Structure 1
């Protein structure tokens, strides 16, 4: 009798990081694997599913205007009940630290399935930063049976929480699996993408390209004003660069970014990009300034230095390895560290060529082999 896996995710970053695992289990005839999406993010999620050619068996379609954490959490748990009762999975896989992760882990626990947490063990040990992610992953961790830690540091965090060592395996991060798959697909001469073709016309490749992303809740307000002032200074001080910023749709991001940056010649503000177009743009960039967790893992895999606009990170391995530098939302620090990377070749090369601590692209196969023993 086949063992049953249910792989649950709801946002674009989760979809990117779970896609290689879905592909890996699809190659295992002794497992029946189904995908359930909550669609916590709708349009951005669908783009990733199309790119990786994944068709979910269950689509809860829960995205609503002005959604809040109370209703989203309750709705995910209630909506998963009939899915779990219909499929009766042996293993439920969740990823990372979203509301989908926490709520799906709880629903899976209620159903009696074994909870498998991919990208387990990330911690800042500050329950309000990042909010609500730190508590989402901590709660999921208490409900989890098998923990797939991306790094030794993540494993050590779990051991401090008295998780049994035999229930933890260090796998590397599946985002590197996804990145290597994507770069290979994008470099295939037969692959075409209208967004990438548009970017070819938008980007001035005679200049050093600085890619910006920013969206995190804790930076809304004064944080984004400081970020925008830094970007304005960088652009004006360094006319040989082009800053390209796919602007998140959240009004708390759109308002300050467009008010403060729209008239600066060498800053291009563009719509959010699909995953393949973003990977393509990362590969073309000279350096990246971001507050994204996933980009901290992906960009070093492409040899791109990263400045992280956060005061804390649950990915300290990148800071310790030297592939990223924390700059927070401090205008002066963002400007200083950016200009150092632009002007100091030795410093740039040292960051660009440092070994990526997040893996070798084989995380999914390690997860599959571990589950085969259970």
Structure 2
């Protein structure tokens, strides 16, 4: 039976990246939907949101600038935004409209948990895109593993990206849909239709380079790891150009360690701030290999078949592992072997036979 309405609760740009293809599919079927932004990231300004609906957000619960950059600050923001959401969402849409409708959440952020539990409070059905991923370690990745487990408890429509994720939901309540692949495959395909806007990235295309990304707090807190990885990246840059993405926490850490100037002044290193998604996909696709600690990067690179070293000890994602993706598991020998033999990890790109986003949109409408 078709639901009375579809709502997307989105907290971060990473969530938006994987949900906008579902919105595009709903638009293609002429199915209306609403967007609620928690404000964990400022998605209202995102160029990605312009693709499905011109950047319109129905309700924004907070601003990213409201969040103090600390774990305590995030929890304070969560409590304040939860309280606001309890009142603002029904006031804006009407309690009768919410009851029986579907709230779509994505992934593993604190906003995912917030959206799911607010929806349950309003008598909505919760649909979880990218459901079932598990590291089976509550503290790694933290808090993502906990967020996923908590979210799944109130989900009744689980969209699992593959057999392993589906198997993890064998005891879950409600309907489990195996989409085979992640919606990031749809996002990547769409990005290939968008021309490159960043002149620095456009200029890099065609020349050999590798990409280095380290931005997770647990890695940046490990100063020995930061020094060791930066040393290897700079050494490799002597023979192949390095593009290093300086997320704000990365920049702050390097500044505190007295290493930022070294990065900025080293020949054959291009240091870029966080790059807009569509251009970042072009940067990754043009790279010889990528060293990153981003889970979504692991997925994207698995679809590209690009050699990838993932700087994690545990991962809830199996994408590419044992094929194009190597996990370093706290071994610098693994890092050195990967850099020396990265061509061995090249694989053909993966092209899904059916769009995961289309499967999700169809299920949202019909189930």
- Which TM-score band (shorter chain)? 0.7 to 0.9
* Equivalent in the alignment of 2:299: 297
- Relative to structure 1, the CA distance from residue 137 to residue 76 in structure 2 (aligned partners, 3 Å threshold; closer, same or farther) is farther
* Equivalent in the alignment of 2:15: 14
* Equivalent in the alignment of 1:287: 289
* Equivalent in the alignment of 1:189: none
Contact 2:67 / 2:74 at 8 angstroms: preserved in 1? no
* Equivalent in the alignment of 2:182: 173
- Relative to structure 1, the CA distance from residue 18 to residue 152 in structure 2 (aligned partners, 3 Å threshold; closer, same or farther) is same
Displacement after TM superposition at 1:360 (Å): 5.0
* Equivalent in the alignment of 2:39: 39
Rounded Cα–Cα distance in structure 2 between residues aligned with 1:73 and 1:268: 36
Displacement after TM superposition at 1:19 (Å): 0.6
Rounded Cα–Cα distance in structure 1 between residues aligned with 2:219 and 2:51: 30
Deviates more, 1:52-61 or 1:98-107: 52-61
- 1:70-113 deviation line (CA, Å, top 9, x unaligned): 21222332232221453233000000001110011010011100
Displacement after TM superposition at 1:168 (Å): 0.3
Alignment size in residue pairs: 351
Deviates more, 1:260-269 or 1:172-181: 260-269
Rounded Cα–Cα distance in structure 2 between residues aligned with 1:139 and 1:255: 36
Whether 1:371 and 2:345 are equivalent positions in the alignment is: no
- 1:204-230 deviation line (CA, Å, top 9, x unaligned): 854x211111211221222x5424423
Contact 2:292 / 2:310 at 8 angstroms: preserved in 1? yes
Contact 1:288 / 1:304 at 8 angstroms: preserved in 2? yes
* Equivalent in the alignment of 1:129: 140
Alignment of 1:201-212 (within 5 A): 201=203, 203=204, 205-206=206-207, 208-212=208-212
Alignment of 1:247-258 (within 5 A): 247-250=246-249, 251-252=252-253, 255-256=256-257, 258=260
Rounded Cα–Cα distance in structure 1 between residues aligned with 2:327 and 2:134: 16
- 1:184-215 deviation line (CA, Å, top 9, x unaligned): 223xxxxx62xx213334x3854x21111121
Deviates more, 1:125-134 or 1:98-107: 125-134
Deviates more, 1:360-369 or 1:40-49: 40-49
Rounded Cα–Cα distance in structure 2 between residues aligned with 1:237 and 1:298: 23
* Equivalent in the alignment of 2:325: 324
* Equivalent in the alignment of 1:25: 26
Structure 1 runs not aligned, ≥5 long:
187-191
TM-score, normalised relative to structure 2: 0.87
Displacement after TM superposition at 1:177 (Å): 0.7
Contact 1:109 / 1:115 at 8 angstroms: preserved in 2? yes
* Equivalent in the alignment of 1:101: 112
* Equivalent in the alignment of 1:352: 347
Whether 1:77 and 2:82 are equivalent positions in the alignment is: yes
* Equivalent in the alignment of 2:232: 233
Rounded Cα–Cα distance in structure 1 between residues aligned with 2:236 and 2:191: 35
* Equivalent in the alignment of 2:92: 86
Displacement after TM superposition at 1:51 (Å): 5.3
Contact 2:159 / 2:178 at 8 angstroms: preserved in 1? yes
Rounded Cα–Cα distance in structure 2 between residues aligned with 1:254 and 1:150: 39
- Relative to structure 1, the CA distance from residue 268 to residue 43 in structure 2 (aligned partners, 3 Å threshold; closer, same or farther) is farther
- 1:306-328 deviation line (CA, Å, top 9, x unaligned): 110000110124214x1211014
Rounded Cα–Cα distance in structure 1 between residues aligned with 2:205 and 2:5: 49
- Relative to structure 1, the CA distance from residue 266 to residue 328 in structure 2 (aligned partners, 3 Å threshold; closer, same or farther) is farther
Rounded Cα–Cα distance in structure 2 between residues aligned with 1:213 and 1:22: 29
- Relative to structure 1, the CA distance from residue 75 to residue 33 in structure 2 (aligned partners, 3 Å threshold; closer, same or farther) is same
Instruction: Say which SS state the counterpart of residue 372 (structure 1) adopts.
Output: helix
- 1:95-134 deviation line (CA, Å, top 9, x unaligned): 0001110011010011100000000011111111111111
Instruction: Say which SS state the counterpart of residue 9 (structure 2) adopts.
Output: strand
Rounded Cα–Cα distance in structure 2 between residues aligned with 1:169 and 1:2: 17
CA RMSD, 1 decimal:
2.5
Structure 2 runs not aligned, ≥5 long:
none
Alignment of 1:329-344 (within 5 A): 329-341=330-342
